């Protein structure tokens, strides 16, 4: 275990770590299987010890996420969301796409902020915004707010976990990732409750 921690420490204290953070968070924006949050939280844990620089971690993560969201937006403009719509009716990706389209219709750019904390949701929303021709400058503005707040949130989760468990980086990392998963789960529960509340009036009509 110590050798693994040493490898982590060597990696996150290297100048290349910021390029890694940028690349991973960018790819995570349009390919949710990549663990963007975990990478940023891990960097935040080690930032509590002095390296890497916390502000630089936040900037690299925010810029990477912003770039990746724009890739997803461009894919949507090229017909990516239409391909999602042709997925099987009961598939999870189809459900995410339909939720995103309804959310964009109702709330526009503000949905970017909340969807950024849901790995599959943020991809569906950015694809859909591209597909419906959401204005690029408005997308840039709202997405900058969303990715900046997300980068700050992830990095600080790791940073404060690192401060709380200074002598045990594994526990600090687990605490940060656990809190991130808990917040994501809470957002999903709120979404489910709101969908259920909206369905009830329709059923009673």
**pLDDT value for 141:** 93
**pLDDT value for 160:** 85
Give a yes or no: residue 148 inside a domain.
yes
Tens of pLDDT along 45-67? 888 878 889 999 999 999 999 99
Using pLDDT thresholds of 50, 70 and 90, give the confidence band for residue 112: confident
Give a yes or no: residue 205 inside a domain.
no
Give a yes or no: residue 119 inside a domain.
yes
Separation of alpha carbons 69 and 116, rounded Å:
9
Using pLDDT thresholds of 50, 70 and 90, give the confidence band for residue 2: very low
Which regions of the chain does DSSP assign to beta strands (E)? none
Report the number of distinct structural domains present in the chain: 1
Comparing CA positions, the residue from 176, 151, 178 lying closest to residue 161 is: 176
Q: Is the pTM of this model over 0.85?
A: no
Give a yes or no: residue 23 inside a domain.
yes
Give a yes or no: residue 88 inside a domain.
yes
Kindly state the percentage of the chain with pLDDT values over 70.
60
Give a yes or no: residue 84 inside a domain.
yes
Domain extent for 105: 2-200
- For 88, residues 6+ apart whose C-beta sits below 8 A from its C-beta are 94
> Half-sphere exposure (CA, 13 Å, Cβ side) for 104?
26
The mean predicted confidence, pLDDT, of the chain is 77
152: tokens are 């700050």
Tens of pLDDT along 114-145? 888 887 778 888 888 888 778 899 899 999 99
Statement: residue 193 has pLDDT above 70: no
Statement: residue 23 has pLDDT above 80: yes
């Amino acid at each position: 275990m110590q050798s693994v921690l040493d490898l982590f420490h060597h990696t996150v204290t290297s100048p290349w770590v910021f390029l890694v953070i940028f690349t991973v968070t960018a790819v995570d924006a349009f390919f949710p299987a990549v663990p963007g949050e975990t990478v940023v939280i891990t960097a935040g844990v080690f930032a509590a010890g002095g390296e890497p620089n916390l502000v630089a971690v936040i900037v690299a993560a925010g810029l990477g996420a912003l770039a990746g969201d724009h890739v997803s937006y461009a894919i949507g403009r090229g017909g990516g969301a239409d391909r999602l719509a042709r997925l099987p009716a009961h598939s999870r990706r189809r459900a995410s796409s339909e939720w995103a389209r309804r959310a964009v219709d109702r709330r526009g750019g503000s949905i970017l902020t909340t969807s950024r904390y849901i790995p599959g949701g943020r991809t569906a929303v950015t694809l859909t915004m591209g597909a419906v021709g959401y204005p690029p400058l408005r997308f840039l503005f709202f997405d900058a707010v969303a990715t900046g707040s997300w980068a700050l949130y992830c990095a600080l989760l790791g940073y404060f976990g690192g401060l709380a468990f200074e002598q045990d980086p594994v526990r600090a990392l687990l605490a940060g990732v656990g809190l991130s998963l808990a917040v994501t789960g809470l957002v999903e529960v709120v979404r489910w409750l709101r969908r259920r509340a909206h369905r009830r009036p329709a059923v009673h009509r």
